[in-house]
Amino acid sequence: MANLWSGRFEKGMDEIVEKFNASIGVDKRLYACDIQGSIAHVSMLAKQGIVKEEEKEKIIKGLTEIKHKIDKGEFEFNIKQEDIHMAVEGALIEALGDTGKRLHTARSRNDQVAVDTRLYLKEQIKEVIENLVYMEKVLLEKAKQYADQIMIGFTHVQHAQPVTVGFHLMAYFQMFKRDIQRLQDTYERMDYCPLGACALAGTTLPTDRYFTSEMLGFKAPTENAMDSVSDRDYVIEFLSDASISMMHISRFAEEFVWWNSQEFSYISIDDSFCTGSSIMPQKKNPDMAELLRGKVGRVYGHLMQILTVMKGTPLAYNKDFQEDKEGLFDAVDTWKASLRIFAKMIEKTEFRMDRIEKHLHTGFLNATDIAEHFVKQGMPFREAHEVVGKMVKFCENNNKDFTDLTEGDLEAIDSWLSLDRLPDLSIEGCVKARVSFGGTAPVEVRRQIRVGGEWIAEL
Ligand code: ARG
């Protein structure tokens, strides 16, 4: 098979060069986008009188047949074709002869690969958002179910303040909400069509870039041809979005791992999401949660890889850019799969409130609430903090909880203290009272769930 540039060359490529140069093994994933782009391009060429109507018809028919062949797995990819653009064009020329040779008028692989990647990413952004939305719906349902159930809120992995399980879950709802918004922003910025930029500087032929842009569903054509073929910032942006979201997934997965440990047993992960041990018969390991925690590594890696590839490359196109796809595709697959599996796992997870309840009475979870109660009685917060600190110390020294303190104990701690100066010391009372906007009180959590549900419904 002769190369599409054989005119200028006396020799074919060395075999190892061919292998090293080829990206077909990776970028064949773009075939549908590549063909979609070519159909729009040839439609524009015909409208502008650059190719004849009947040539356009033949080319579109030929391209459609190639697509069907690839869809059905009947197309044979060959390393000699180098990349998906040449594979499709080569097959077209084979089928149509000279007519096929007209397709590559007023375009270059440089703008072709840029438009293919953007078309692919726009589609994938929609799919990732669908997965994120599913996760959000699962979280809303679970949060509703556990809006009143109390667990420990931690800071520094130390008992901090009581919160509701629903509240904790809704924290993740907010993180995934921002992940969706980040993707929407990325989509907006990349929704411009580079097709027709050609190699780097546009063309002398009378093309209509608005036509192709519209036909391919973009907002508008890109402004500057050189920029259109030179940057991969949309890939970088997508991978940053993916990295941030995978970081959220990883943190949540880590909580699942320790909530599932024997020490905590706050949840029990469904058998169908766990694995056993080949040697220890008693084991039920949270492998899915661990894998979810670990998958983030490869996505960060892909982000660093493309940032490094792009760094220092001069304008305009450089072959380095061909390295942009492998990591991108893997990140897309990893992110979607992680969201899908995690959402399903959460759906099947029940919190073990009996176990959680046992932990609620250690660690003086309501200390801040008592201090705030003193503030309501006119004490400056710093002083209240000090007094409650003395109460904690007394309790620790005497092996007591706040609820065990007697009038005499209080007197001994601080002369200002007395039983009637103390608030409702129950954990329930203290959670219920945290009604500040965004707080953990069940009424407030229900408001957050309602607003979250409205946001999802409007998406
Ligand atoms: N396979 C190439 C890539 O992914 C397509 C563009 C090639 N352009 C070129 N002038 N060699 O970047």
Q: Is the confidence at residue 265, as pLDDT, over 80?
A: yes
Residues of the chain with CATH 1.10.40.30: 360-458
For residue 1, what pLDDT is reported? Answer: 52
Cα 208 to Cα 357: distance, rounded to the nearest angstrom: 68
What is the number of the ligand 1 atom nearest to the C-alpha of 84? 1
Mean pLDDT within 133-141: 98
Q: Which of 61-75, 106-120, 361-375 has the lowest mean pLDDT?
A: 361-375
Which string of DSSP letters, residue by residue, matches 167-193? HHHHHHHHHHHHHHHHHHHHHHHH-EE
Cα 436 to Cα 457: distance, rounded to the nearest angstrom: 26
Amino acid at 284: K
- What six digits make up the tokens of 173? 């709802």
Q: Is the confidence at residue 281, as pLDDT, over 90?
A: no
Q: Which of 363, 427, 448 is nearest to 168 (CA)?
A: 448
For residue 136, what pLDDT is reported? Answer: 98
What lies within 8 Å, CB to CB, of 69 at 6+ separation is 75
User: Is ligand 1 within 6 A of the CB of residue 324?
Assistant: no
Q: Is the confidence at residue 301, as pLDDT, over 90?
A: yes
Residues of the chain with CATH 1.20.200.10: 110-144+184-358
Cα 266 to Cα 322: distance, rounded to the nearest angstrom: 47
> The whole model's pTM is what?
0.93
What is the number of the ligand 1 atom nearest to the C-alpha of 317? 10
CA of 21 to the centre of ligand 1 (A): 10
User: Is ligand 1 within 6 A of the CB of residue 86?
Assistant: no
User: Is ligand 1 within 6 A of the CB of residue 448?
Assistant: no
Q: Which of 33, 36, 76 is nearest to 60 (CA)?
A: 36
Buried b (16+ CB within 10 A) or exposed e, 340-372: ebbbbbbeebebeeeebeeebeebbbbbbbbbb
pLDDT for 17-29, tens place per residue?
999 999 999 999 9
- CATH fold for domain 360-458: Ribonucleotide Reductase Protein R1; domain 1 (1.10.40)
User: Is ligand 1 within 6 A of the CB of residue 117?
Assistant: no
Residues of the chain with CATH 1.10.275.10: 8-105
For residue 153, what pLDDT is reported? Answer: 95
User: Is ligand 1 within 6 A of the CB of residue 110?
Assistant: yes
CA of 342 to the centre of ligand 1 (A): 37
Cα 24 to Cα 153: distance, rounded to the nearest angstrom: 51
Q: Which of 218, 45, 189 is nearest to 115 (CA)?
A: 218
CA of 437 to the centre of ligand 1 (A): 53
CA of 24 to the centre of ligand 1 (A): 11
Q: For residue 193, with 0-12 CB atoms within 10 Å meaning exposed, 13-18 middle and 19 or more buried, which class applies? A: buried
Give catalytic status of residue 156 as yes or no.
Answer: yes
CA of 22 to the centre of ligand 1 (A): 9
Give catalytic status of residue 277 as yes or no.
Answer: yes
CA of 166 to the centre of ligand 1 (A): 50
User: Is ligand 1 within 6 A of the CB of residue 83?
Assistant: yes
pLDDT band (50, 70, 90) for residue 274: confident
- CATH class of this structure's domain 8-105: mainly alpha
User: Is ligand 1 within 6 A of the CB of residue 81?
Assistant: no
Cα 79 to Cα 53: distance, rounded to the nearest angstrom: 33
For ligand 1, atom 12: residue with the closest CA: 322
For residue 2, what pLDDT is reported? Answer: 59
- What six digits make up the tokens of 139? 């979280």
User: Is ligand 1 within 6 A of the CB of residue 104?
Assistant: no
Backbone angles phi and psi of 176, in degrees to 5: -70, -30
pLDDT band (50, 70, 90) for residue 443: very high
CA of 206 to the centre of ligand 1 (A): 24
- Candidates 26, 29, 83: which one to mutate for ligand 1, based on the most atoms within 8 Å of Cβ? 83
Which one is catalytic: 6, 68, 261, 277? 277
Q: Which CATH number fits domain 110-144+184-358: 3.90.110.10, 3.30.70.20, 1.20.200.10, 2.40.10.220?
A: 1.20.200.10
For residue 320, what pLDDT is reported? Answer: 97
Q: Which of 56-60, 279-283, 343-347, 392-396 has the lowest mean pLDDT?
A: 279-283
For ligand 1, atom 3: residue with the closest CA: 322
- Candidates 113, 313, 324, 329: which one to mutate for ligand 1, based on the most atoms within 8 Å of Cβ? 113
Strands 150-155 and 158-164: antiparallel
The predicted complex's ipTM stands at 0.97
User: Is ligand 1 within 6 A of the CB of residue 228?
Assistant: no
Question: What integer best gives the mean pLDDT of the chain?
Answer: 95
pLDDT band (50, 70, 90) for residue 444: very high
Amino acid at 125: I
User: Is ligand 1 within 6 A of the CB of residue 114?
Assistant: no
Q: Is the confidence at residue 55, as pLDDT, over 70?
A: yes
For residue 406, what pLDDT is reported? Answer: 95
Q: Which residue has the tokens 């196109």?
A: 317
For residue 351, what pLDDT is reported? Answer: 96
Q: Is the confidence at residue 5, as pLDDT, over 90?
A: no
pLDDT for 202-220, tens place per residue?
999 999 999 999 999 999 9
